[in-house]
Amino acid sequence: GAGVSQSPSNKVTEKGKDVELRCDPISGHTALYWYRQSLGQGLEFLIYFQGNSAPDKSGLPSDRFSAERTGGSVSTLTIQRTQQEDSAVYLCASSLQLTQGSGNTIYFGEGSWLTVV
Amino acid sequence: AQSVTQLGSHVSVSEGALVLLRCNYSSSVPPYLFWYVQYPNQGLQLLLKYTTGATLVKGINGFEAEFKKSETSFHLTKPSAHMSDAAEYFCAVSAGNTPLVFGKGTRLSVIA
């Protein structure tokens, strides 16, 4: 597609429910990232995928968070047993490759706004 | 590991005045530096980036930033603020083969 597409754009869920957030990166981009943006906290790195390599999960805040990327394209971020502190905007991004030094830009989607009540 | 500090969570300037948003970084290797802008209810858009070469980098919408290694800084400037510049600005650093590490952002308000 023309840009990074995320769905849903808004999600309200009850505490304890599981949620899935979807990201469709720019066609041909091999690197895909998930970030979390909380009010006043900037952007927190969660996980990235690069081609067929094992994902870097070092930013995931707890084992309730997981992500997968099928066929090297679409990615799903899953949050199990949601808590109120999970409320945030979840941003997906993609780039041609991970190495920023080569000049490749990371392109962001508009985010999925998650509210846990 | 890399880190970014943005001085000032909120900056207000008058229309037509100089915009200066401060960013200091920490990196154990030569950094790659970025400024992104986020307009209300939108995703992040790249303003400019420094990878190698010229230390004064020009970006979109009249913004520029200068990489100063001695000061570990990458401050963002614009000579004359427009109302349309009101947004959240994020500085970010990468080691080149790592995901971007972002600062906490600076909200810019432009007063008529």
The 10s digit of each residue's pLDDT in B64-111 is: 999 999 999 999 999 999 999 999 999 999 886 678 899 999 999 999
Q: B28-41: per-residue pLDDT in tens?
A: 888 899 999 999 88
Banded pLDDT at A87 (limits 50, 70, 90): very high
A112, two tokens: 């999925």
Classify residue B106 as left (phi > 0), alpha (psi -120 to 50) or beta: beta
Burial class of residue B111 in the structure, from the number of CB atoms within 10 Å of its CB (0-12 exposed, 13-18 middle, 19+ buried): exposed
Q: How much is the mean pLDDT over chain A?
A: 90
Residue of A106, A107, A113 for testing the chain B interface, max B β-carbons within 10 Å: A106
Cα separation values, A41 from A22, A89, A101, B106, Å:
23, 11, 26, 11
pLDDT for A89 equals 95
B15, two tokens: 């229309």
pLDDT for A105 equals 81
pLDDT for residue A104 is more than 90: no
Share of chain A above pLDDT 90, in %: 73
Cβ–Cβ gap B99/A45 under 8 Å: yes
Q: Does B40 touch chain A (CB under 8 A)?
A: no
pLDDT for A39 equals 79
Mean pLDDT of B41-48: 89
**DSSP bridge pairs for A48:** A33, A56
The answer to whether A7 touches A75, Cβ cutoff 8 Å, is no
pLDDT for B58 equals 96
pLDDT for A99 equals 55
Q: Does B7 touch chain A (CB under 8 A)?
A: no
pLDDT for residue A101 is more than 70: no
Mean pLDDT of B13-28: 96
Distance CA A100, CA B102 (A): 14
Q: Does B54 touch chain A (CB under 8 A)?
A: no
